[in-house]
Amino acid sequence: MIPDCPCPGHPRRRALLQRSVSGLLSEIRISINSECFTDHYTVIPGKELGRGKFAVVRKCVEKCTGQEYAAKFMRKRRKGQDCRMEIIHEIAVLELATASPKVVGLHEVYEMASEMVLVLEFAAGGEIFNQCVSHREDEAFTEEDVKRLMKQILEGVAFLHQNNIVHLDLKPQNILLTSSSPLGDIKIVDFGLSRRVCNHHELREIMGTPEYVAPEVLNYEPISTATDMWSIGVLAYVMLTGISPFLGEDKQETFLNISQLNVSYNEEELQQLDRTALSFIQTLLCKQPQDRATAEQCLRHPWLQSSNSQEIQTEEEILPLEDQVASSTTSSPECPSTTSTPEETEKGPMTEELIVMAAYTLGQCRQSSTSEKEALAIEQKAISKRFKFEEPFSALQEIPGEFIY
């Protein structure tokens, strides 16, 4: 259910009232620095942290403190149009989410003639995609790992939804880890496609990543907080099995699978899980948005209530997330806020990053695995259901903000 629009007099909601018809926020509190970015930060030479169609992310160090950050350089003009307001919207969403430790932090903003730079929290654990496709037991997520991380994802998404914000691009690439060993906490990133929603205004957009988009997006029906919940259902399936549930041989087959809800619950990987895990996914992969569980309801689901007490802990703990949801669950101690690495660089201008990462990771696994015919055949069968998308959703190519972090 989409939350009501906030009352005009409510101070906590004031920033949400400044919006355009397209659901963009336009009011920010942070001061935009017009000085030269490199006067204050040293950009680390070498490999980029991430690259999208209109932005590039580079690691940098603040000169006065020595603190590491991720600098997101974003072009203000895209396809001949002024897209500064889209960047302002992303800044506003990050400001709004400051109270949630599950969302990447915004440190500073710089503006130059042709681009703006968002100085973001940097971390060391990388995106969760790497663990999703790993065949090595010491790297792949256990079911208990997925439970702990899914709780955190839901806490972050619940916070966004309570503030009338939908992410619209939840996928393994946009969920980072504060550390990989020991397994840290999650950070939700990339709000370039996010929008503000309310009951008094219908929002219809064709945006998202093909394998994760909800049926209503493909049908150009109103978007709501339930649109994110579909993506979380796909994300849970991927995290638990390493398999993309709706992936077809081409885009058309993928979209048809989504529209017709062609998803298998008989995969061997699913049969090895707690039966409540299957129930959790099924409460989200419902064609009708109103039939999907909310983030708060998911946090109360039996699967997430049955966590093993022996969860991964680290030497330090951060303060727990404030109770943003209607009913809180018993959470494991938080891991330290060491920081994480964003997505891998795209291999081509029109290539989906998710696929490049999958091909690279799975290729490594094949080389290191047994050469026996039977094992190879089984692995190739599994790979055929994994991430092989070669092009992004064509309609998305016109949408500003299609980039990493």
* Residue 169 a catalytic site member: yes
**Of residues 169, 185, 190, 228, which has the active-site annotation?**
169
Which residue ranges make up the annotated binding site? 72
| 336: preceding bond cis by omega (within 30 degrees) | no
Nearest one of 130, 132, 136, 144 to 273, comparing CA atoms: 144
Residue 323: the pLDDT is 43
Domain residue spans in the chain? 11-121, 126-356+387-398
User: CA-to-CA distance for 90 and 174, rounded, in angstroms?
Assistant: 14
Predicted TM-score (pTM) of the model is: 0.73
User: CA-to-CA distance for 266 and 208, rounded, in angstroms?
Assistant: 27
Residue type, 189: V
Quick check: 239 and 150 in contact, CB under 8 A?
Answer: yes
In CATH, what number does 126-356+387-398 get? 1.10.510.10
pLDDT digits (tens, 9 = 90+) for 339-350: 444 443 334 444
Domain 126-356+387-398 in the same topology as domain 11-121: no
CATH fold, domain 11-121, is Phosphorylase Kinase; domain 1 (3.30.200)
pLDDT digits (tens, 9 = 90+) for 69-94: 999 999 999 888 889 999 999 999 99
Nearest one of 304, 17, 308 to 295, comparing CA atoms: 304
Both structure tokens of 350: 């029109």
Averaged pLDDT score across all residues of the chain: 77
User: CA-to-CA distance for 218 and 367, rounded, in angstroms?
Assistant: 38
Query: Given the DSSP bridges, would you call strands 77-78 and 81-82 parallel, antiparallel or unpaired?
Result: antiparallel
Residue 275: the pLDDT is 92
Q: What is the DSSP string of 84-99?
A: HHHHHHHHHHHHHGGG
Which residue ranges make up the annotated binding site for ATP? 72
